Amino acid sequence: MSLLSYLINGISLGSVYAIIALGYTMVYGIAKMLNFAHGDVIMVGGYAALTMMLSLNANPLIAVLVAIVVCTVLGITIEAIAYRPLRQAASPLAVLITAIGVSYLLQNIVLLIFGSSPKSFQSVVLVPDLKLAEGALMISGETIVTIISCIVIMIALTTFINKTKAGQAMLAVSEDKGAAQLMGINVNGTIALTFAIGSGLAAIAGVLLCSSYPSLSPYTGSMPGIKAFVAAVFGGIGSIPGAMIGGILLGIIEILGKAYISAQLADAIVFAVLIVVLLVKPTGLLGKKIQEKV
């Protein structure tokens, strides 16, 4: 029963990683860049929801919607101001350094506004805990909502990309920006939409993460952001199903590592597994090898 409980908790944590990883994999797949400020957007979403609930006494669902709107606008703004001017930069390193700079900027802005002390986060989940096997196994409401949210988001996102014109435009831009532009696709608008979706999902992930682990600080998004990036690489960066599989596997490995090996070594185990996977399959589990034309 303990193993089953650990697996359920691992799937729950992995679902959060998967939702965050979608932002990384979508931006990389379409814009071919890594947004390392993505983890801090998670933190901003948490603070937006917390402010709505504490200062304005808002309903938790309203707080989540506000957090999504705030992070969506933030993602579009970051792309327009920080990344778009560097899209034609000679070196990809310029975008990477800018992303790190944006990350520290967001952290320090939140430090100035809210201070460095961790805040106690009020759960937004209204679903009661589920008791099974005569109370021997208890699944928290946060776990239930997190897993269901991940499944719904994956289905909705896959349907959006495969069945809508905007989704088809994203696929076209990911293949060839120049050809897509010649076909009348607004490349800047498509990339901005990608950032908007990824940042909105980051807000959902941030709220779910803080509901399960009720503490929020300006550095809350740093480690989950890194682990979600690992999950995206693990599953095959650029692949949406890969982000889900990589995130869930990463969550299970982390929880089982803490339970059966060492809580202190759990993070090291996660990164060690990533190294092994990339040595065996450098493109990740579902990644495809890209042929470079010369």
Q: How far apart are CA 37 and CA 106, in angstroms?
A: 8
User: How much is the average pLDDT of 114-123?
Assistant: 89
Note whether 144 and 127 are within 8 A (CB).
yes
Cα–Cα distances in angstroms (integers) from residue 285 to residues 58, 126, 243, in the given order: 42, 35, 10
pLDDT at 102: 94
pLDDT tens readout for residues 204-219: 999 999 999 888 999 9
Surface-to-core class of residue 209, CB atoms within 10 Å of its CB (0-12 exposed, 13-18 middle, 19+ buried)? buried
Give residue limits of the domains in the chain: 2-120+137-221
pLDDT the model gives residue 266: 87
How high is the pLDDT of residue 135?
66
Going by C-alpha positions, the residue among 123, 127, 117 that lies closest to residue 63 is 123
- With tokens 């946060």, the residue in question is 142
Q: What is the DSSP string of 80-120?
A: IIIIGGGTT-S-HHHHHHHHHHHHHHHHHHHHHHH-SSPEE
pLDDT computed for residue 275 by the predictor: 87
**Which run of H or of E encompasses 132?**
strand 130-132
- Taking the CA of residue 178 as centre, how many other CA atoms within 13 Å lie in the half-sphere pointing to its CB? 1
User: In this predicted structure, what is the pLDDT of residue 294?
Assistant: 43
Q: pLDDT by residue (tens digit) across 229-275?
A: 999 988 888 888 888 999 999 999 999 999 988 888 888 888 888 88
Report the pLDDT averaged over residues 197-202.
94
pTM of the entire structure?
A: 0.91
Residue with more model confidence, 249 or 136: 249
Check if the beta carbon of residue 285 is closer than 8 Å to that of residue 234. yes
Rounded to an integer, the average pLDDT of 188-210 is: 93
Residue 208 CA to its chain's centroid (Å): 11
Average pLDDT of the chain, as a whole number:
88
Task: Report the C-alpha gap between 61 and 64 in whole angstroms.
Answer: 5
pLDDT digits (tens, 9 = 90+) for 11-54: 999 999 999 999 889 888 888 888 889 999 999 999 999 999 98
Nearest to 76 by CA among 221, 188, 228: 188
